[in-house]
A and B are shown apart, each in its own frame.
Chain A
Amino acid sequence: MTTAIPAQSGAVEAGAAAPAPVRAARGGFGRFLIRRVLQALVVILVVSVIVFALLHALPGGPARGVLGQQATEEQIAAFEAANGLDQPVVLQYLSFLGRSLTGDLGESYLLNQSVSDAIALRLPKTLLLTGLSLVVAVLIAVPVGVYQAVRRNRAVDYWLSTLAIVAYSTPTFFLGMLLILLLSQTAGLFPAAAPQGTGIAEVLAQPDALVLPVLTGAVPIVATFSRYMRSATLDNLGEDYVRTARAKGTGRRRVVLRHVLRNSLTPVVAMLGYYLPVMFGGALVVEQLFNYPGMGLLFWSAAQSSDFPVLLGCVLVISVATVVGSLLADVVQAVLDPRTRGGLR
């Protein structure tokens, strides 16, 4: 799935004027921050409207969703009166918004648990799994991308790029199945089921069972980020400071490792923030495939049983996390590279 990088046109706004750069940049940054945070709040508000609309798009409305298709008209009327569903839509939305803000996402139909409790129990495990995949992926993608950039347009670059497209085109679940077939069924190296348990400690106590889920989650990230890293490094290799450093007698290897690497990591680190929705999607598939007790599996089970409060609660939490992720990415990038501050409209 594509993740568009925000436009960076009109880039040279803050910090370009040479005298008194500190004050100019500070003021520019403060304004940038306020506008960017406001924008994020607006987006979250729109997301909440979409989720609220989905709640009302349920066949027969939320009341039928909870009570089932056999419910009588009287039962539905009673339920709607008890839950404020007979109020005007705008009031209902405001009360939904108020409850969501205080962390009240409703009750699961089936789990005998509030939605926020169900999510709070599983979210840390999902973050652990995606975090591990991410670390593994970055450790592979960064050196591969730099290596490709240094060897650009040679055979090895060409083959690695093609391999990245193949990996990107492989559905995560198919990759996971192949790994199960090869490493679990045939070679018998790792178990095919993910670690079970309620807490993070229990999950971490079964490292061999974590290998296949982490690997499956990591491959698509490697495919994407090795491409980012390659192009970011290529951009920097053409910069004047590289020529200067080389002219002053710095070795090629040292220029790449000390100067180019640090500068090319900035956009790639920021990309991680924009990549969050893709990672959540990946977690859903990996958790379902390996039966890992995280938020993705919670969501999938809820979809199987039409447990709408859980479904919509998860969507809300994930969307807010995504908005915050891209906000952080923009802010980190603006701190590290003032040229990007003008990109916001």
Chain B
Amino acid sequence: MTGLRRFTRNRLAVVGAVALAVLVLFVLIGPLVYPTEQVATDLGAANLPPGVDGHPLGTDALGYDNLGRLMVAGQVSLLVGVLAGALATVVGTLWGAVAGYVGGAVDVVMMRVVDAGIAIPAIFLLLVLSTIVRPTVGMMIVVLGLVSWLVPARLIRAEALSVRTRDYVVAARAMGASHGRTVLTHVIPNTVGTVVVNATFQVADAILLVAYISFLGMGVQPPTTDWGAMLNDGINYIYQGAWWLILPPGLAIVVVVCALNFVGDGLRDVVDVKGRTA
């Protein structure tokens, strides 16, 4: 059965892929179709409920149109999530491949570093780091990427351990390929299934982490915003029943993370790898 057939047989994966496409169009094309002012504040139009004065989802405490804000916030959430997930995947893949390929003492040292990193919960480390460096979008990507490469490193190391003794690796070495070349052209390409599937989950987790950091008030600074920061702003009005400040960004996070998890499951069916436990 072809990969595409296997993927489409998983109905949730198809639903996830469609939802992702719709969301990406919403945050990228949306602001072109529905342009709104998202930098200058308009306190005269603050805290309007949905539908008033041509604001389909109302406005927030600074008078920003909430629907437009959902779009620009989504750009930040998705951008940070995708790039941080990609960075974590690249770093983790290289680290794990080298550790597993070289083995011995190098492997032991490299994996104890991974163990230590996993022992420090990411949210705590991120909060400490964001008190040290001012959180801009670029900084968030780098910092998030650098705290979340540990799980892929473990997965790829396990794969590399089994790949390194295969005949084609031995043959490449015998023909005079350098270690670097062997890792890059023989070991890593043979772990690509695991890498791709894990990258999907990595992006999902990165989007959740960005939301947590922003919700805790340590994320990107205004007027830049993301879905987590919108929720952080909205919670102050929860007791006035301002549900429109909370449900849209919250549901957006849930939908995108769910969709990525569904797609990841579907991709796993295609490449048939194990390794995701939660």
Contact = CB atoms under 8 A, between A and B. Distances in A.
Interface of A: 1-5, 7, 39, 42-44, 46-47, 50, 54, 57-59, 162, 165-166, 168-174, 177-178, 180-181, 185, 192, 224, 227-228, 277-278, 280-281, 284-285, 288-289, 299-300, 303-304, 306, 308, 311-312, 314-315, 318-320, 322-323, 326, 345
A139 B72 CA distance: 41
B254 A173 contact: no
Contacts of B129: 54
Contacts of A170: 250, 253-254, 257
A4 B250 contact: no
Contact of A50 (B120, B122, B239, B278): B120
Contacts of B118: 4, 277, 322
Interface stretch (B22-30, B61-69, B107-115): B107-115
Contacts of A224: 278
Interface string B222-261: 0000001001000100110101001000100110011001
Nearest to B242: A181
B132 interface: yes
Given A171-B208, A172-B212, A177-B250, 12 more contacts: A2-B278, A4-B277, A39-B112, A42-B112, A44-B116, A46-B113, A58-B132, A165-B261, A171-B212, A224-B278, A277-B119, A278-B121
Contacts of B239: 185, 192
Given A2-B277, A311-B131, A169 B124 contact: no
B77 to A, nearest CB: 11
Nearest to A58: B132
Chain B contact residues: over half helix, strand or loop, or mixed? helix
Contacts of A7: 158
Contacts, number: 165
Given A2-B277, A185-B241, A303-B127, A177 B212 contact: no
Q: Which secondary structure dominates chain A's binding surface?
A: helix
B119 A319 contact: yes
Name the 5 nearest CB pairs between A and B, nearest first.
A46-B116, A169-B257, A174-B250, A277-B121, A169-B258
A169 B120 contact: no
B128 interface: yes
B271 interface: no
Given A46-B115, A47-B119, A171-B228, A2 B124 contact: no
For chain B, give the interface size range.
35 or more
A319 B120 contact: yes
A4 B116 contact: no
Contacts of B169: none
Contacts of B124: 280-281, 284, 299, 314-315, 318
Contacts of B246: 174, 177-178, 181
Nearest to B259: A169
Interface in B112-150: 112-113, 115-125, 127-132
Given A162-B12, A181-B243, A300 B112 contact: no
A88 to B, nearest CB: 23
A262 B211 CA distance: 38
Contacts of A171: 208, 211-212, 215, 228, 231, 250, 253-254
22 contacts: A2-B205, A2-B276, A3-B278, A5-B277, A7-B158, A39-B112, A39-B115, A42-B112, A46-B112, A50-B117, A58-B132, A169-B204, A171-B253, A173-B231, A227-B278, A228-B277, A299-B124, A303-B131, A314-B124, A315-B124, A318-B124, A320-B119
B218 interface: yes
A165 B258 contact: yes
Interface string B35-52: 000000000000000000
B201 interface: yes
A170 B268 CA distance: 22
Contacts of A300: 127, 216
